[in-house]
Amino acid sequence: MFPVVKRSLVLYDDACPLCTFQMRLLTWLDWFGALEPLPLSSPRAVAAAPGLTPEALSEAIHCISPRGRVYRGARCLRFVGMRLPLFAPVALFLWVPGGILVAEVVYRWVSRHRLLLSRLFGCKTACAWLPSRRDKEER
C-alpha cells in the first residue's frame, strides 16, 4: 500500500476568470492528486496562510507545500509543475539559470493585467470550454 501524502494547497483568486481557468487547467493535469485547490473566497484560505494578507494573496497564486513552505507566483508554478507530468518540462525550464527571473517578470505583468487579458481572451466565467474536474472525494 502507498503511504498517504498530504497534498499541497494552491491558493488562487476565484474572482478572476483567468486565475480560475489556470486552476481548472492545473487540476486536469494533476493526475496523482498532489494539489488541493483553495479559492481565496474560502474561509480556509486566510487561515491556511496566516502570515499573508488578503491583498498579497490576491496578487499572485500561492502554494503551501506539505512541509509548510510558501511559494508565490512563478515559483509556485515551478513547484506545482514539478508535480504534474505534462507540466514538468515547463517547470524544468524554470530551473535553468535566469529562467525563474524571466518567469517572475512575465508573471508579474500577467498578474497586473489579468482582468484585461481575461476579457481579451474571452475568459468570462473561467473560459467555460474547460469543465471543472471533480475531486475523487466528490464523485
Task: Return the number of other C-beta atoms located less than 10 Å from residue 74's C-beta.
Answer: 23
* All cell numbers assigned to 49: 496562510
- Look at residue 87 and give its three-state secondary structure: coil
> pLDDT for 88-105, tens place per residue?
999 999 999 999 999 999
Tell me 68's DSSP state.
S
Which pLDDT score, from 0 to 100, does residue 49 have? 84
Which pLDDT score, from 0 to 100, does residue 97 have? 94
Which pLDDT score, from 0 to 100, does residue 71 have? 95
> pLDDT for 109-131, tens place per residue?
998 888 788 777 666 654 554 45
Tell me 132's DSSP state.
P
Q: pTM (2 decimals)? A: 0.81
26: closest CA among 85, 73, 68? 85
* All cell numbers assigned to 73: 507566483
Dist. CA 135–CA 70, nearest whole Å: 23
Decide the pairing of beta strands 70-72 and 62-64.
antiparallel
Dist. CA 132–CA 27, nearest whole Å: 8
What is each CA distance from 1 to 59, 78, 122, 133, in whole angstroms?
40, 29, 45, 26
> pLDDT for 14-57, tens place per residue?
888 888 888 888 998 999 999 999 999 998 888 888 888 888 88
Average pLDDT over residues 49-77: 90
Average pLDDT over residues 57-76: 92
